[in-house]
Amino acid sequence: MKARGWRVFATARQPEDIARLKSAEGVESLYLDYAEPASIAAAAEQVLAATDGKLTALFNNGAYGQPGAVEDLRVEVLRAQFEANVFGWHDLTRRVIPAMRANGGGRIVFCSSVLGLLAAPYRGAYCASKFAIEALADTLRVELEGSGIKIILIEPGPIATRFVEHALEAYRRNIDLERSHHRDIYRARIASMEGGGKQSFKLGPEAVAAKLVHALESSSPKPRYYVTLPTYAVALLRRLLPARALDAVARRN
């Protein structure tokens, strides 16, 4: 985006990542953790001050996946998933909407997932958070009609990032693997994740960036942008198949 002439404020949680974004990527960078309300407030205030309130776009992208069967998710584990993946996004979004209203428009883009379209076993926490984002974004799009503010969803399938690595950490940290009824399935899934997870149809992050460019620069952005073949397929199957058939699709994934 910077190469295309945008002034970019990139956020991160680790000091070394913030420093790298500034030095290696040449963008303005600051600390933000979606699970820390104080950091959200501070980042929003800093960016709005730096732009004199003329913020053009917000891209909500930071999230993680908490694996595990729904029955094995302690309430605090599910709450933490929503804090980072939903509540923090909502908080930041609310803080920029007034400035965009005052400017007569803007773009707010949410990075959802194919798992915001289709619930999959052992991914219940992550799926629930992405289904929530889908609903919030769709509602915002209707409520902000006529304001000039466009609400857009990007829905990737598998993307080559450190997502699997962090999901594996969350697996071990928050799921009682050995006492679970699902322990044999967990062992197999963890072994697959340690090998990098499924590679079929996986694209690089530039595939998402290409959709972001269109979402921010098109005069008529789409409400949704699918990324990777699985997302296109699931979007089609949702329109064609009954619920039980979709369950079968989910089990195979």
What pLDDT is recorded for position 253? 66
What pLDDT is recorded for position 202? 87
What pLDDT is recorded for position 197? 76
Among all residues, which ones are annotated catalytic?
Answer: 126
What pLDDT is recorded for position 47? 98
Q: Are strands 28-31 and 9-12 parallel, antiparallel or unpaired?
A: parallel
Nearest partner of 170 among 148, 146, 186, 150, judged by Cα: 186
What pLDDT is recorded for position 188? 94
Model confidence, pTM: 0.92
What pLDDT is recorded for position 55? 97
- pLDDT < 50 regions, the chain: none
- Check residue 26 and give left, alpha or beta (phi > 0: left; psi -120 to 50: alpha): left
Residue burial 105-130, b: 16+ Cβ < 10 Å; e: rest: ebbbbbbbbbbbbbbbebbbbbbbbb
Neighbours of 101 (CB within 10 A): 14
Residues in the chain: 253
- The residues with which 88 forms a beta bridge, in sequence order, are none
Nearest partner of 195 among 168, 213, 227, 233, judged by Cα: 168
Residue burial 1-17, b: 16+ Cβ < 10 Å; e: rest: beeeeeebbbbbeeeee
